[in-house]
């Protein structure tokens, strides 16, 4: 089963987190997960995917304009309806709006007609509520690498749920 992780990234943080999610997904038997920039999406692979996770940096506590434009103009061509959806974010500040970015991405996915999943509290520790958020080290005493496990575990949980629903 194919899964896609699609991100916008200017300085590489969100791309890195997308790749960590794919690493987690690919640990689950039968899963083939790939990450794509919104600027370079393999449309055939995404259309064949049973689950799609979107990621964006926080720009003033919202998704980037590029991601929003891509969601409005390109995503409708990619057959998202009825599939499993998820979202993640990267931020410079711990309270820099990561959950708001995720919430707005999930709102778009639900509007398109996806089933949205994060694992939530039901999966225990690490407790990932709306989706994983990676804080970078520009302003905080945190390193993106500190959040790697959360992204990988999120990828595993998302892939298990996709396999359960569509396998
Ligand atoms: C125009 C702009 C606005 C930003 N606004 C926020 C913000 O509101 N909150 C925050 O925590 N980080 C903010 N950032 C920082 C980025 O979200 C953060 O560095 C992110 O990890 C960058 O992702 P990327 O490396 O994938 O481009 C902003 C960065 C830019 C360029």
Give the other-Cβ count within 10 Å of 129's Cβ. 12
The residue with tokens 């396998």 is 167
Phi, psi of 134 (to 5 degrees): -105, 125
- Return the pLDDT at 137: 79
Q: How confident is the model at residue 3 (pLDDT cuts 50, 70, 90)?
A: very high
Ligand 1 pocket: which of 7, 10, 57 to mutate (most atoms within 8 A of CB)? 57
Q: What domains sit in the chain, N to C, each tagged with a CATH number?
A: 2-166 (3.40.50.360)
pLDDT digits (tens, 9 = 90+) for 106-142: 999 999 999 999 999 999 999 999 999 999 977 667 7
Indicate the pairing of strand 115-116 with strand 133-135: unpaired
**Strand partners for 90:** 57, 134
Whether the predicted model's global pTM rises above the 0.85 cut: yes
Atom of ligand 1 nearest to the CA of 14: 26
Find the mean pLDDT for residues 51-55.
98
pLDDT digits (tens, 9 = 90+) for 18-42: 999 999 999 999 999 999 999 999 9
pLDDT, the chain, mean = 96
Output the residue whose Cα is nearest ligand 1's atom 6: 59
Give residue 81's Cα distance to chain centre: 17
Ligand 1 pocket: which of 21, 58, 147 to mutate (most atoms within 8 A of CB)? 58
């Amino acid at each position: 089963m194919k899964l896609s992780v699609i991100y916008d990234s200017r300085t590489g943080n969100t791309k890195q987190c997308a790749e960590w999610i794919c690493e987690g997904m690919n640990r689950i038997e039968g899963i083939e997960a790939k990450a794509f920039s919104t600027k370079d999406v393999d449309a055939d692979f995404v259309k064949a995917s049973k689950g799609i996770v979107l990621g964006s940096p926080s720009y003033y506590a919202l998704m980037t304009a590029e991601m929003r434009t891509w969601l409005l103009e390109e995503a409708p061509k990619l057959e998202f309806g009825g599939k499993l959806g998820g979202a993640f974010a990267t931020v410079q500040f711990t309270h820099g709006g990561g959950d708001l970015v995720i919430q707005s991405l999930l709102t778009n996915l639900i509007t398109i007609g996806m089933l949205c999943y994060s694992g939530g509290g039901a999966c225990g520790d690490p407790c990932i509520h709306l989706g994983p958020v990676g804080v970078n080290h520009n302003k905080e005493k945190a390193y993106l690498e500190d959040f790697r496990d959360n992204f990988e575990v999120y990828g595993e949980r998302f892939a298990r749920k996709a396999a359960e629903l569509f396998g």
